Amino acid sequence: MNWEDVVRESGKPMEWPYPVRYGVVNDVDVDVVVLGGGPGGCMAAISAARKGCTVALLDKAYPKRSGGGSGFDHWLNTPNPASNITPEDCVEWEAVTYKGYSNSLSRYIAAREAYDTLLEIEKMGAKVRDLDDDFKGAPFRDEKTKFVFCYDYENRFQFRVWGATFKPAIFNECLRLGVQVFDRVVATSLLTEGGKQGARVVGATGINMRTGEFYIFRAKATINAMSCHQTSWRFSTESIGLDMFKPNITGDGPAIMWRAGVELAQMERSRAAVPPGYEYPSYGTGNWWNTWHPASMVDANGKEVPYVDAGGNVVPVEERCRPRPGQKFIAERSRDPQYSKPTMLPDLADRIRKGEFVLPLYADLAGMPWYERKVIWGLMVGNEGRTKIPVLLNYAAAGFDAQRDMLQNYFTLSGEPYPSMDATLALGPYRMEAFGNGGEVVVDWDLRTNLEGLYAVGDAILAGNYYYHACATGRYAGRKAAEYALKLNDAPSIDTAQIEREKTRVYAPTERKPGKDWIDWKELRFAGARAMQNYCGGLRNEGLMKTGLKWIRDIKEEHYPETYASNPHILLRVLETYNILTIDEVILQACLARKASSEVLGHFRQDCPEIDPPEWRKWVTIKQADGETNIGELPLDFHGNLAGNYEAHNPDYKGYMKKKP
Amino acid sequence: MKNEKTQVDDHGQKCYAFPNKPTPGMPVVIDETKCTGCNKCVNICTTDVLVANPEKGKPPIIVYPEECWYAGCCVAECPAPGALTMRHPLMMRVHYKNKETGEINRV
Ligand SMILES: Cc1cc2nc3c(=O)[nH]c(=O)nc-3n(C[C@H](O)[C@H](O)[C@H](O)COP(=O)(O)OP(=O)(O)OC[C@H]3O[C@@H](n4cnc5c(N)ncnc54)[C@H](O)[C@@H]3O)c2cc1C
Ligand code: SF4
Ligand code: SF4
């Protein structure tokens, strides 16, 4: 039944089903408040609670499945007993692949503690090994530990896991430890000492997205686990959720950080993407990426489309997950020949155009060894976050049988305008935030931001992404925040004027009347996306971006104040829109500040055409102080000596890596 | 024509001046004969596509269908077999081919 049925049945419009309590204030006092309850936030809450802190955890949704909670299939970069890979190796492949634009500090922390983290989550009830012996005898299984691996069956540091079991187990542990959970409470601002930008953080404010109630969280330490920004360039007023890479991620985190004076970096990074509304279900088509690697591909006549390695050699199915002679190891997503996996021919599109392969292509799981078929169309598709119900189960119900049928592929000239296989897309206006290895918050070896009392985890960290990284950094930041909070004697004082200012800002959309133009949040977001496409697209220059910045500011200052919210759900969308427009401003300022083109950052300037000139091999940082934008810079190797710094900051930590000689 | 004055169509349905529904309009379908109205799907839904029925014990209502993220957490959570099904929008239903017979079907 949808709202139209309700009207038909009752003859009346539907009333908001939850109590509406705008302005009602809830006051919560804890040692540690965690903003965002994805895997990173939940692990942070657990680790702070285990240290003896009182902890509040808030999330836009119910944390059992929120954030990366519906599932995932790869647990990456984890040195473990079945592997000789070191934390240094894990850091190195990304640094090489992204030409230094990867955050070796948080990657190193994560790699050092990822195995301990994985075992801890297993104890909470997640499935991390093949205990049912489904893959007994498969070349990717370690018979002793029953771990199953992907990408590189020899070096075994990238796990295949039953990721759909993780979040419920982690969240259950939060409940068991007495973490106070505030589901559907949305963080709106950080509270700072004296209400001053850049001062010590003393808590946060929030609103309930069903009732509109206001929340004040007083805390000795605050953890930003609200993930990254997305959807600045791509928005359609319909199919809104379909187009989102991650649910509920609308730049709230970085926008809240920005307003408080937190230092962000690499906000100018983005990559080419398809226009909104055009994607097929992710991993719901036959393909050779990520979840589906190393699925065999054939053309319409059943002719095999070969996998080739970086040297151009054709790689048979048995060898697709083994390093080629002389290669150190294979790493997920690396396109650098040192670490890249065998994949489709780089000139596949041209070969199809010339008739070598006939469209459409299909993934031929039926023609693969049993263990590859079963692990892809089972473990992997069954746990990747958006495929279990809609793809694995629904396709089976519709008659698809992986042992008999081939699933059509829509990439490469055949319908899906997927960025990876069509070079022309890079020149188009549609961009996607880097989501992996993107911008966000600069952190130190305690995963603390530039503001005292404020820590960051997971995708909220500069260039942070991946599940293992979210869990391991969450666990680490929770520990560090707790240590800090437990050292403080007095609860920090809150600035009441700052709270009043925030209440006024948050409730403004509910108090005004609908403007005569009836501009609502969707139109604002559409306009913001258009401004980004037109003025910060595939090719940029100073004049273009300045116009873009002016347009975004016009939207924010002239039109946003007219937007009306008729219920708490719409209020949330209006507030999110404000955050997205704020992030657009930050992105444009960062892009203006980087006066050089960069391949890795997806930043191409007509007025500075030289690609990655050596003097620009650094991060551009951006923050606000007294309401003014401050641009700075950070060396790519700001982490310093990895092992030395890690040891110095964690003298008492015991775990798998500590025992190893 | 015959019901011009009362704005009722030929099937006896009142005719409303509804605006267009957003697309996709129905990401999940509830079988009201099987749904117990427990609201577990409402609780788990990450974006409040589903809201609780103001009448207790009645099936939830789809109010914000265009915001659905299509992960199916609601379906996984539903305790009543067959009560809740995920419906991928039409343009996303892909094709597959029987390797032996060459027959092509759509999911
Ligand atoms: C479909 C899918 C598949 C993936 N598969 C893999 C994989 O196989 N391997 C891998 O390593 N990674 C994978 N990832 C990436 C991985 O899920 C993320 O890196 C990980 O979830 C990051 O965790 P996080 O806790 O930092 O952020 P998130 O999981 O994004 O959680 C952030 C949380 O913050 C909440 N939030 C946001 N704003 C607010 C606010 N204002 N107030 C309150 N709460 C807020 C959100 O509701 C969300 O729950 C996948 C991601 C997706 C979407
Ligand atoms: S699929 Fe996800 S977003 Fe859509 S209704 Fe179900 S829980 Fe909500
Ligand atoms: S979870 Fe299932 S039974 Fe419960 S309200 Fe939702 S559809 Fe009905």
Percent of all residues in chain A with a pLDDT value above 70, rounded to a whole number: 97
Residue contact A408–B23, C-beta within 8 A? no
Is pLDDT of A660 > 70?
no
Instruction: Please tell me the predicted confidence (pLDDT) of residue A333.
Output: 86
**Contact call for B62 and A1, based on CB within 8 A:** yes
**Which one of B42, B74, B78 would you pick to mutate in the ligand 3 pocket, going by the greatest count of ligand atoms within 8 A of its CB?**
B78
Restricting to A residues 167-206, those with a Cβ less than 8 Å away from any Cβ of B are 184
Ligand 2 centroid – CA A420 distance (Å): 28
pLDDT for residue A414: 60
pLDDT in tens, A357-367: 999 999 999 99
Indicate the CATH number for domain A509-612.
Answer: 1.20.58.100
N-term to C-term CA, chain B = 41
Mean pLDDT, residues A245-269 taken together: 96
Provide the 8-state DSSP code for A318. Answer: G
The total of other beta-carbon atoms located within 10 Å of residue A458's CB is 35
Residue bearing the CA closest to ligand 3, atom 3? B35
pLDDT at A622: 98
Angle at which helices A166-176 and A39-50 cross, to 10°: 30
- The answer to whether residue A418 scores a pLDDT higher than 60 is no
B43 within ligand 3 shell (Cβ under 6 A): no
pLDDT digits (tens, 9 = 90+) for A470-526: 999 999 999 999 999 999 988 789 999 999 999 999 999 999 887 778 889 999 999
Taking an 8 Å cut-off on Cβ atoms, the answer to whether A238 and B71 are in contact is no
pLDDT band of residue A323 (cuts 50, 70, 90) is very high
Q: At what angle do helices A467-487 and A39-50 cross, to 10 degrees?
A: 30
Q: Which residues of A touch B69 (CB under 8 A)?
A: 241-242, 244, 247, 386
Concatenated DSSP letters of A139-195: TTB-TTT--EE-S-TTT--SEE-BGGGHHHHHHHHHHHTT-EEEETEEEEEEEEGGG
Query: pLDDT-derived band of residue A274, with 50, 70 and 90 as boundaries?
Result: confident
In a domain, B18, yes or no: no
How confident is residue B4, by pLDDT bands cut at 50, 70 and 90? low
**Is B98 within 8 Å of A8 when comparing Cβ atoms?**
no
Q: Using an 8 Å CB-CB cutoff, list chain A residues near B54.
A: 14-15, 17
Residue B3 lies in a domain: no
Could you give the CA distance from residue A338 to residue A487 in angstroms, rounded to a whole number? 46
Domain residues for B60? Answer: 28-106
Q: Given the CA of residue B80, which atom of ligand 3 is nearest to it?
A: 3
| Token pair listed for A275 | 């226009």
What pLDDT is recorded for position B7? Answer: 67
What 3-state DSSP class applies to A576? helix
Chain A residue numbers with beta carbons less than 8 Å from the beta carbon of B63 are 2-3, 14, 569
Domain boundaries, chain A: 290-427, 509-612
**Measured between CB atoms, does A291 come within 8 Å of chain B?**
no
Question: Is pLDDT above 70 for A415?
Answer: no
* Cis peptide leading into residue A168 (ω within 30°): no
Give A-chain residues touching B59 at CB under 8 angstroms.
Answer: 1
- Report the domain count for chain B: 1
pLDDT at residue A421 greater than cutoff 90? no
Nearest residue (CA) to ligand 1, atom 9: A74
Taking contacts as CB-CB distances below 8 angstroms, the residues of chain A near B66 are 237-241
Strand-strand pairing, A431-433 and A405-408: unpaired
Q: Which ligand is nearest to the CA of B30?
A: 3
* Least confident piece of the model among A232-241, A271-280, A366-375: A271-280
Q: Please judge whether B94 and A407 are an interchain contact, meaning their C-beta atoms are less than 8 angstroms apart.
A: yes
Q: How many CB atoms lie within 10 A of CB A546?
A: 13
> Can you tell me whether residue B11 is helix, strand or coil?
coil
Chain A from 550 to 589: CB within 8 A of any B CB = 569
Task: Confirm whether B81 is domain-assigned.
Answer: yes
Asked whether the beta carbons of A367 and A316 are under 8 A apart, the reply is no
Asked if A64 and B46 come within 8 Å (Cβ–Cβ), the reply is: no
Indicate the helix (H) or strand (E) that contains B97. Answer: strand B95-98
Ligand nearest to the CA of A58: 1
CB of A597 closer than 8 Å to CB of A608: yes
**Residue scoring higher pLDDT (A350 or A328):** A328
The rounded Å distance from CA A347 to ligand 1 centre is: 34
List the one residue out of A328, A329, A334 whose CA is nearest residue A96: A334
**Residue with the nearest Cα to atom 8 of ligand 3?**
B35
Between CA A311 and CA A325 the distance in angstroms is 10
Nearest CA-CA distance, residue A571 and chain B, Å: 13
Contacts of B73 in chain A (CB under 8 A): 65, 69-70
Q: For residue A615, count other CB atoms closer than 10 A to its CB.
A: 6
- Asked if the Cβ–Cβ distance from B96 to A406 is below 8 Å, we say yes
| pLDDT on residue A280 | 82
| Segment holding A32, helix H or strand E | strand A25-35
Minimum-distance ligand to the CA of B40?
A: 3
Q: Whose CA is nearest to atom 21 of ligand 1?
A: A68
Arithmetic mean of pLDDT over chain A: 94
The 10s digit of each residue's pLDDT in A158-173 is: 999 999 999 999 999 9
- Confirm or reject: Cβ of B50 under 6 Å from ligand 3: no
- A494 contacts A219 by C-beta, under 8 angstroms: no
Instruction: Give Cβ neighbours of residue A203 (< 8 Å, ≥ 6 apart).
Output: A33, A190, A191, A216, A217, A218, A219, A222, A492, A494
Is B48 part of a structural domain of the chain?
yes
Dist. CA A72–CA A62, nearest whole Å: 18
Q: Does residue B10 belong to any structural domain of this protein?
A: no
> Listing from the earlier edge strand, what are the strands of the sheet with A159-160?
A74-75, A159-160, A148-149
Number of neighbouring beta carbons within 10 Å of residue B58: 15
- DSSP per-residue letters across A422-479: -GGGGGSS-EEE-SSS--EE---TTSB-SSTTEEE-GGGBTT--SHHHHHHHHHHHHH
* Mean pLDDT, residues A445-463: 98
ipTM for the predicted complex: 0.94
Contacts B77 to A, Cβ<8 Å: 65
Put simply, the answer to whether A66 touches B46 (Cβ < 8 Å) is yes
DSSP state of A553: H
Q: Which element (helix H / strand E) includes A3?
A: helix A3-10
Q: How confident is the model at residue A419 (pLDDT cuts 50, 70, 90)?
A: very low
- Nearest residue (CA) to ligand 2, atom 4: B68
Q: What Rg do the C-alpha atoms of chain B give, in angstroms? A: 18
Read off the pTM.
Answer: 0.97
> Averaged over A326-333, what is the pLDDT?
93
Closest to A292 (Cα-Cα) out of A359, A357, A362, A375? A375
Residue in B76, B94, B107 closest to A410 by CB = B94
CATH number of domain containing B32: 3.30.70.20
Q: How many residues does chain A have?
A: 661
Residue closest via CA to ligand 3's atom 2 equals B78
Q: Which residues pair with A56 in a beta bridge?
A: A33, A180
d(C-alpha A362, C-alpha A299), whole Å: 6
Residue to mutate among A20, A231, A242, with most B CBs inside 10 A, is A242
On the question of a cis peptide bond just before residue B81, with omega within 30 degrees of 0, the verdict is: no
